[in-house]
A and B are shown apart, each in its own frame.
Chain A
């Protein structure tokens, strides 16, 4: 069954008092239960807008988005979110950030219990000893680990991630990808994940399926299935001929898009 269905969605931004800008045009796809889906595309293709439609922070101008068969209207605690920045409140400690979010998700649980869950998830993300640190005292990578721990601890069926590793260095990014996959694989029931990125290797390594988008206005260009067995190993994967093929295909889709722009009136580079 489809967890999430995007039906004929168009998103227009009001552009001052002049004409509207179309960010997304006639988007159609669906995400299955327990699927890890990545959306990839050049900057400005509206991939973050799609995610914000899922969060409920934005609403579609046309078309509809169904979560478990019901149209999304506004934000909800049934969706966990990790943004690139500021998924955490800077004035709350790592532990408090998680337990505060949990107190919203599980109002019946005691404070003590929520703190224990927060500590467990922080421990699982390798953050033991950092529970009482404020976000500013943590590195960017550690902050994102706390944010992921928060989203997972809230135990939502759907997790939305908007370039969560976009602001960390490449070495840390690899560690975070492994941690994320570990946590995702180890869950009893796999959570549905929508993951926005502009990193092709990241998308292939993590996903069951990749949606490649093109820009101006944002459209779905291609859907690509990634059929590597799980759990995945980064090093054997990169030696795989299939991997190279897949990577080339996505790269050419990217450059195709860029080439057509450079050929036209608009130059983006």
Chain B
């Protein structure tokens, strides 16, 4: 029966009782917290029934356990015993309630941020990958590009923000440009190195087929360096997020980074926490799909 009662279940039940039975000292909306943990627990039970292979279930159970303990401590420290300052530390119930109520507003911010992200990161992808492939393929261009990459690459792109805002006509253009710069160098440098790292034997086999430059780039160099390109793109993507939110905190009037900064200025900390959580969730979702894409593109590799 051990299989059917995990530590997470035990904690869940204790937790649920504590949340619902213990009286709250502040207006805590504990019902929202009870609702959230109940939903996650039902999902957990569902996963156990649906997916008998235990590896993933164990991981999920462990993760839930950590989340439950964290939430429980938070709940006890705020709504139940008020150990923490109630102005700076909202209760979990309040944050969950606000997260749900603010969802349309949050999604509007996401839309605004997506435009900047897609513009900057997309521009970096469509310039850095072809350039990296071609420069990597042509030895002379590669040697010419390397010193520039070495000098310009390591400059933290965040330092360009004030100047870019001053020089470029709109804040939007400035943000896209900075995100582009931040993502360009890691993608370009990784692609360049990826091309150099293609096994010499593979290049020999390709040369035996007398391919023209276009075929060589599309059918050999691109797939041969896709792993390096994807790791460059992953670094570029996380830089993009940092730059996106930084730029928004400095000069935007909408978006996910702006949300956090704006409500901090009003000391509306529940909304600040909601904004941070929302960014975390969005980044996780995008990274998840990015990993899926990488797995698909590299499906020919030995697993």
Contacts and interface: CB of A to CB of B under 8 A. Distances in A.
Contact of A134 (B201, B208, B300): B300
Nearest to B201: A86
Contacts of A88: 205
A76 B210 CA distance: 6
B213 to A, nearest CB: 14
A87 interface: yes
Interface string B266-303: 00000000000000000000000000000000011110
Nearest to B207: A75
B209 A83 contact: no
A250 interface: no
A77 B301 CA distance: 28
A90 B300 CA distance: 7
Nearest to B300: A134
Given A104-B209, A136-B300, A136-B302, A85 B224 contact: no
Contact of A89 (B207, B210, B223, B301): B223
B208 A79 contact: yes
Interface in A53-107: 55, 57, 75-77, 79, 81, 83, 85-92, 100-101, 104
A249 B206 CA distance: 39
Residue of A76, A86, A104, A136 with highest tally of chain B CB at under 10 A: A86
A90 B199 CA distance: 11
B205 A86 contact: yes
Contacts of B211: 104
B202 A86 contact: yes
A256 B63 CA distance: 68
Contact of B207 (A57, A90, A135): A57
A104 B300 contact: no
B208 A81 contact: yes
B214 to A, nearest CB: 13
Interface string B25-50: 00000000000000000000000000
A65 to B, nearest CB: 16
Contacts of A100: 209, 219
Which of A76, A81, A87, A89: most chain B CB closer than 10 A? A89
Contacts of B249: none
A118 to B, nearest CB: 14
Given A76-B210, A86-B204, A100-B219, 16 more contacts: A55-B204, A55-B208, A57-B204, A57-B207, A81-B205, A83-B205, A86-B201, A86-B202, A89-B223, A90-B300, A91-B223, A92-B300, A104-B210, A134-B299, A136-B300, A137-B302
26 contacts: A55-B208, A57-B204, A57-B207, A57-B208, A77-B210, A81-B205, A83-B201, A83-B205, A86-B199, A86-B201, A86-B202, A86-B205, A88-B205, A89-B205, A89-B206, A89-B223, A90-B202, A90-B300, A91-B223, A92-B300, A100-B209, A101-B209, A104-B210, A134-B299, A136-B301, A136-B302
Interface of B: 199, 201-202, 204-211, 219-220, 223-224, 226, 299-302
- Shortest beta-carbon contacts, A-B, top 3: A86-B201, A91-B223, A136-B302
